[in-house]
Structure formats: structure tokens, C-alpha cells
Amino acid sequence: MLKLYDHRLSGNCYKVRLLLSFLQLEYESVLVDLLKGEHRSPEFLQINAFGQVPVLTDGEQVIQDAQGILVYLARQFGDETWLPLAPEPMSRVMRWLSTAAGEIRQGPESARLYHLFKIQTINIEVATQKSENILRIMDDHLTHQDWLGLDHPTIGDVACFPYVALAGDGQISLDSYPQVRGWIERVKQLPNFTGMAGIE
């Protein structure tokens, strides 16, 4: 049985729940209370020394990092639709996994942490500027295609979706990005889509 160490307000945990739902996989959810510091407990640090959620276990396998978990699930339980094996299309999907961990984390994710979770060490001006930059790039990219990596949904879309769809939590408006808004609606229309607080 798959077991997901989860936090319900985490967009990184949500992206894993979203792919689990798309793949129609059953799993046990273990809630980790970040506000109480459970992610820094000795017990949790044994499964992830970084002290971060999500973590996925599959029997004896322990998979850490949201993007890493998406890759594992796609290869272990999906087919090449979610993560192709051919080098060139795989590289396009990986570009967006990198974007989720880089530009989106530094932009919309950081802005959400600042405003929703009151993480005052974040430079909100920088996060807002980075948000605008990546949203503009995504909007231009989606002018020419419906999905980020390929001509169908992949784990690249799943990786980028949560914090872009939750941009409003970070006081980042999507009004100027019609292609991004259209992409968000396409993701929501996929079979077995599941939402979270802030994304219905």
C-alpha cells in the first residue's frame, strides 16, 4: 500500500495527491502537522533528513521530493502518457518539472508562503516580480499549445499546476494571463481531477 506523508495546505503535497487521483491509485494519507514542527521530529527525519513533505513510501521504497515522487508514480504506475521515455519529449516534460522547483517556487509559491503563512523572511517584492516573469512566460508558451510539455497532459502540468492555480493566495493576480487561466480550467476538467482548499 502506498503511504503519503502529507500536509493538506501544501501545494507540493497536493500535486502528488492530484497525480495519485489521475492514476486512480489507493493510498494511505499520514498527516504531518508542519505548524507543530512534526516534520522536524526524529521519527520524520528518519524518512526524510531534509524535513520536508511530501514523502511517499511504496513498501520498502522511500521517495522524497514532490517532483521526484511524480516521476516515480508516472514510471511505476502510469504509462508514457505522463512521462515519455523518448529523450526529446522527456526533456520537455523535465523542463517543466524544473520550472516548478525553480521559477514557480521562487515566485507564486514564495508569495503564498509570505501572505498565507506569514513567512516574513521572504522578500515579497522579489517573489512578486518572479511570479510575473514566469506567468508571462507560461502565458506566451500556452498561446501556441494547450499543455506545457507535450500535446497532452504530463507530470509537467501536474508539477506546475498547484502554485499557479493558488496564485491568489499570494496576492498574485492572473487577470493578465488568459492562456494560463485557460490551462488551469483544462486541468480541472481532466478525468479524476481532485481539488484542495483554494482550488475547487
Each residue's pLDDT tens digit, 28-47: 999 998 878 889 899 999 99
Report all structural domains of the chain as residue ranges with CATH numbers, in order of start. 2-77 (3.40.30.10), 87-188 (1.20.1050.10)
119-142 tens-digit pLDDT: 999 999 999 999 999 999 999 999
β-pairing, 55-58 with 27-31?
Answer: unpaired
Amino acid identity for residue 76 in this structure = Q
CB 9 within 8 A of CB 50: no
Instruction: Determine the 3-state secondary structure of 55 from DSSP.
Output: strand
Cell readout for 151 is: 500535446
pTM here?
0.96
Stretch 80-94: mean pLDDT:
97
pLDDT tens by residue, 95-126: 999 999 999 999 999 999 999 999 999 999 99
* Residue 23 grid cell: 492514476
Q: At which residue does the C-alpha cell 501556441 appear? A: 144
Query: Which whole number is the average pLDDT over 167-182?
Result: 98
Q: Measured between alpha carbons, how far is 105 from 113 in angstroms, rounded to an integer?
A: 10
